[in-house]
C-alpha cells in the first residue's frame, strides 16, 4: 500500500521584524551575534502573543560566517537561548547574502508539502565580529584552473565588472540612485514607517556603558550628490563603485513567522503576504550582481506572471549598479516609485544573511498601504554568482480597485 502524503498548502508570512542595523563593530561592538538574534526572535514572539512557541514546527536561522558567536548551529542555539521549548528543532542555513531569504523559502517548501504548519525563519550577521571572508580558504583550483577570475572573490570588483558590462549605467546614475535611497529612508523615518518594526536591543559600550539600540546607525540623511562624486573608488583606480553607492559593512538580525493556510485560519491570524513562488539562479561569478535578473525571469515564469503585473519591488541594494542592472533589464525607471519606497541597504545597511527578511518586511508594509497592488517581489544578488527572487501576493488586495498597468491584475 502506498503511503499517503499531505496536501499542498498555501504559505503565509504572518509577521516579520528586525533589529536596528549598526555599522560593523560600532553599535553592537560589545554585543554577541547570537544575543542580537535572540532579542529579535523574542521581539517577534512578543508581537504575536496568540502564537504558542511550543507549536512552532521548525526554526531556521541563517548566517554567512558560521563560526564563533554565529556558529554552534545558530538555528538551534538561538532558539534555545530565546526560550523556545527544547522540543522545537532548529538548524542553520547559509546562502551568503540570501541566507534569510533561503531560510524562508526552505521552510515554505516544508509548509507547502504539509510537513510544517508554523515555522520561524531568521538571519543574523555581525560583520564587526566576523569580517567578510573570515576564516574562508578558497580552493586554489578556482584561480589555477581559471574556474573563476580573481574578481569573482571580491564583491566590489564584481560590481565594477557589472559597470563594464553595462557602460550606459554610469557612476553618475549610481550616485543619484544612492542619494535617492538615503532620501527615501529619511522620509520613511520621518513618517515613522521604519521604527515600528525595529526590535530594541540592549547594547554595551566600554566608553558609555549600557544603552538601547532603537534606530539604524548607517543612514546618512545629509548626503549630497557633490559629496558622493568626491568619494574614492576602492575597488579600481578611476572606477565607479564607492562607499557611497554601495551598502556598508553592518551588524543586525531579522526574523519572520511563516504559517500554513490551515494554521492561519485556526488561530485567526492576519497574514501580511502569501508566498506565490520563488527561484534562485546562477550567473557568471564575476558579475554576481546580475543574479536577480535570471532569478526574476524564472520566478515570473513559474508564477505565470509578467513584470507588468508586479506592483511593488524590494531589491536589495548591495551596490547601486546591481539594482540599476535589474531595472534596466526590465525597462523600469531608476526612480520608479514602486521600487524600494522606504529606501534600501545603501542607507540602512546590509548585514549579509539577514537582509532577505528585511525585504519581505518592507514589501508587507507596502502591501498594507496599497491594497490596489496584488503582486510584489523581493530580490537580491548573492556572492559567487547567484540571484534569488520571491514573488508574494497581497492579502489586502482590493478586488474592486484594479490597476492593470501597475500590478493590480
Q: Mean pLDDT score of the chain, rounded to an integer?
A: 95
> pLDDT (tens digit, 9 = 90+) per residue, 23-60?
999 999 999 999 999 999 999 999 999 999 999 999 99
The whole-number average pLDDT for the span 204-225 is 95
Cell of 324: 540599476
> pLDDT (tens digit, 9 = 90+) per residue, 74-97?
999 999 999 999 999 999 999 999
Residue 40 appears among annotated catalytic residues? no
> Which of 189, 156, 159, 176 minimizes the C-alpha distance to 348?
189
On the 0-12 / 13-18 / 19+ scale of CB atoms within 10 A, 170 is: middle
> pLDDT (tens digit, 9 = 90+) per residue, 117-130?
999 999 999 999 99
Q: Write a three-state SS string for the chain.
A: CCCCCCCCCCEEEEEEEECCCEECCCCCCCCCHHHHHHHHHHHHHHCCCCCCHHHCCEEEEECCCCCHHHCCCHHHHHHHHCCCCCCCCEEEECECECHHHHHHHHHHHHHHCCCCCEEEEEEEEECCCCCCCCCCCCCCHHHHCCCCCHHHHCHHHHHHHHHHHCCCCCHHHHHHHHHHHHHHHHHHHHCCCCHHHECCEEEEECCCEEEEECCCCCCCCCCCHHHHHCCCCCCCCCCCCCCCCECCCEEEEEEEEEEEHHHHHHCCCCCCEEEEEEEEEECCHHHHHHCHHHHHHHHHHHHCCCHHHEEEEEECCCEHHHHHHHHHHCCCCCCCCCECCCCCHHHHCCCHHHHHHHHHHHHHHHHHHCCCCCEEEEEEEECCCEEEEEEEECCCCCCCCCCHHHCCC
pLDDT confidence of residue 143: 84
Among 40, 97, 130, 370, the active-site one is 97
Round to whole Å and give the CA distance between 290 and 323.
9
pLDDT confidence of residue 136: 84
Among 130, 163, 370, 381, the active-site one is 381
pLDDT exceeds 80 at position 169: yes
Residue 350 appears among annotated catalytic residues? yes
Please report, for the chain, the start and end positions of each structural domain, with discontinuous segments joined by +: 147-196+274-406
pLDDT exceeds 50 at position 409: no
pLDDT exceeds 80 at position 408: no
For residue 133, name the pLDDT band (cuts at 50, 70, 90): confident
pLDDT confidence of residue 6: 58
The whole-number average pLDDT for the span 267-271 is 97
Radius of gyration (C-alpha) of the chain in whole angstroms? 20
pLDDT exceeds 90 at position 294: yes
pLDDT exceeds 80 at position 400: no
- Provide the CATH number for the domain formed by 147-196+274-406 in this structure: 3.40.47.10
Q: Which residue has the higher pLDDT, 134 or 71?
A: 71
Among 126, 130, 350, 370, the active-site one is 350
> pLDDT (tens digit, 9 = 90+) per residue, 368-393?
999 999 999 999 999 999 999 999 99
pLDDT confidence of residue 405: 38
pLDDT confidence of residue 8: 85
For residue 206, name the pLDDT band (cuts at 50, 70, 90): confident
pTM as predicted? 0.96
Round to whole Å and give the CA distance between 353 and 125.
6
Amino acid at each position: 500500500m502506498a503511503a499517503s502524503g499531505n496536501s499542498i498548502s498555501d504559505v503565509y508570512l504572518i509577521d516579520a521584524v528586525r533589529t536596528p542595523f549598526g555599522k560593523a563593530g560600532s553599535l553592537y561592538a560589545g554585543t554577541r551575534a547570537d544575543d542580537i538574534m535572540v532579542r529579535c526572535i523574542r521581539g517577534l514572539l512578543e508581537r504575536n502573543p496568540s502564537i504558542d512557541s511550543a507549536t512552532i514546527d521548525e526554526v531556521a536561522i541563517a548566517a554567512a560566517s558560521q563560526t564563533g558567536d554565529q556558529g554552534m548551529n545558530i538555528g538551534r542555539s538561538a532558539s534555545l537561548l530565546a526560550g523556545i521549548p527544547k522540543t522545537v528543532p532548529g538548524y542553520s542555513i547559509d546562502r551568503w547574502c540570501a541566507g534569510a531569504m533561503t531560510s524562508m523559502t526552505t521552510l515554505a517548501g516544508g509548509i507547502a508539502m504539509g510537513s510544517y504548519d508554523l515555522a520561524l525563519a531568521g538571519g543574523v550577521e555581525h560583520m564587526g565580529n566576523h569580517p567578510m571572508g573570515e576564516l574562508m580558504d578558497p580552493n586554489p583550483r578556482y584561480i589555477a584552473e581559471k574556474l573563476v577570475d580573481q574578481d569573482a572573490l571580491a564583491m566590489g570588483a564584481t560590481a565594477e565588472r557589472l559597470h563594464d558590462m553595462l557602460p550606459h549605467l554610469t557612476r553618475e546614475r549610481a550616485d543619484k540612485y544612492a542619494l535617492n535611497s538615503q532620501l527615501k529612508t529619511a522620509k520613511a523615518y520621518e513618517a515613522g514607517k521604519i521604527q515600528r518594526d525595529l526590535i530594541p536591543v540592549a547594547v554595551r559600550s566600554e566608553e558609555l556603558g549600557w544603552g538601547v539600540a532603537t534606530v539604524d546607525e548607517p543612514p546618512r540623511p545629509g548626503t549630497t550628490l557633490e559629496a558622493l562624486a568626491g568619494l574614492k573608488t576602492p575597488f579600481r583606480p578611476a572606477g565607479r563603485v564607492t562607499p557611497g553607492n554601495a551598502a556598508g559593512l553592518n551588524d543586525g538580525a531579522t526574523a519572520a513567522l511563516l504559517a500554513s493556510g490551515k494554521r492561519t485560519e485556526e488561530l485567526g491570524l492576519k497574514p501580511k503576504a502569501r508566498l506565490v513562488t520563488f527561484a534562485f539562479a546562477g550567473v557568471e561569478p564575476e558579475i554576481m550582481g546580475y543574479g536577480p535578473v535570471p532569478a526574476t525571469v524564472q520566478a515570473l515564469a513559474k508564477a505565470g506572471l509578467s513584470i507588468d503585473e508586479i506592483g511593488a519591488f524590494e531589491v536589495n541594494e548591495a551596490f547601486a549598479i546591481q539594482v540599476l542592472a535589474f531595472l534596466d533589464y526590465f525597462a523600469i525607471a531608476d526612480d520608479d516609485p514602486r521600487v524600494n519606497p522606504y529606501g534600501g541597504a545603501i542607507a540602512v545597511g546590509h548585514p549579509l544573511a539577514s537582509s532577505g527578511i528585511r525585504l519581505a518586511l518592507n514589501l508587507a508594509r507596502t502591501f498594507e498601504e496599497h491594497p490596489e497592488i496584488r503582486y510584489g517581489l523581493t530580490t537580491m544578488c548573492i556572492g559567487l554568482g547567484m540571484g534569488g527572487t520571491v514573488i508574494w501576493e497581497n492579502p489586502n488586495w482590493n478586488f474592486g480597485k484594479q490597476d492593470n498597468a501597475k500590478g493590480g491584475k
